[in-house]
Amino acid sequence: MKIISTNISKVITILHNKKEIKTGIFKSPTVNEIVITKTNIIGDEQADLVNHGGEHKAVYAFSSSHYEYWKKELKNEKLSFGMFGENFTISNLSEKDIHIGEQFRIGTALLEVSQPRVPCFKLGIALDNKSILKLFTQHHCTGVYFRVIEPGIVKKDDEVIIEKEVEHNISIKKLFQAYFDKSYIDYESVLSEAYSLKELAPEWKEKIRKKLSIN
């Protein structure tokens, strides 16, 4: 895997359904080096700091190969890197092979897998498609959120190298599918195991706690 594109954005105000909304989802590629701090990327902004950014969502990555799928699915050949709101567009990133708690060295930064992405309505705005939230959720390939273990500098073409593996098999895709796919047969055991992982983000622990009625 390697970095195909690094993408950042400033917060802007748009008009949506006759209401002003602030958003940082409109990310575009940058040729500059990316400086990663413990909670964010310098120069990248989020409007909703409750649901975006912070320790457990410091960096968001999405696979470059997903773009071909979505170009066909959405019948939109103009999709370009950054349009799914990702900071890093990464080649060959596979949610079924990336597990909660795994750590990756990218440039001089060390990042740890913390959770899948749950899309919000702003993705629909970015892609100008009201159906995208349902389609995105059904596809189960959501991209990956990372927390920052070691801040550092990342640039385009940097290799993405796994530095710490895990012993469990709770992948990003398995966790997301177990939670959202009503036909997923073994969802309780998957979610229970995920809930026990100390590396899983608190937001997802709370989602699982409520779904399984854990006291």
pLDDT by residue (tens digit) across 58-95? 999 999 999 999 999 999 999 999 999 999 999 999 99
Q: For the chain, which ranges sit under pLDDT 50?
A: none
Residue 65 within a domain: yes
Residue 173 within a domain: no
pLDDT at 214: 85
pLDDT at 49: 63
CA 80 to chain centre: 17
Which strand (E) or helix (H) includes residue 54? none
The CATH number linked to 37 is 2.40.33.20
What does the DSSP assignment read for 147-195?
Answer: EEEE-EEE-TT-BEEEEE--SS--BHHHHHHHHH-TT-TTHHHHHHHHH
Which residues are CB-contacts of 48 (< 8 A; sequence separation ≥ 6)? 22, 23
- E-only strand ranges, the chain: 3-8, 12-16, 19-23, 28-29, 34-36, 59-63, 88-90, 103-106, 109-116, 144-150, 152-154, 160-164
Residue 208 within a domain: no
Residue 105 within a domain: yes
pLDDT by residue (tens digit) across 167-189? 999 999 999 999 999 899 899 99
pLDDT at 120: 84
106, 160 contact by CB (below 8 A): yes
What is the pTM for the complete model shown?
Answer: 0.93
Q: Which domain holds residue 162?
A: 3-166
pLDDT at 11: 87
Question: In total, how many domains does the chain have?
Answer: 1
Q: At what angle do helices 202-212 and 172-180 cross, to 10 degrees?
A: 40
Residue 186 within a domain: no
77, 71 contact by CB (below 8 A): yes
Dihedrals phi, psi of 101, to nearest 5 degrees: 95, -10
Residue 214 within a domain: no
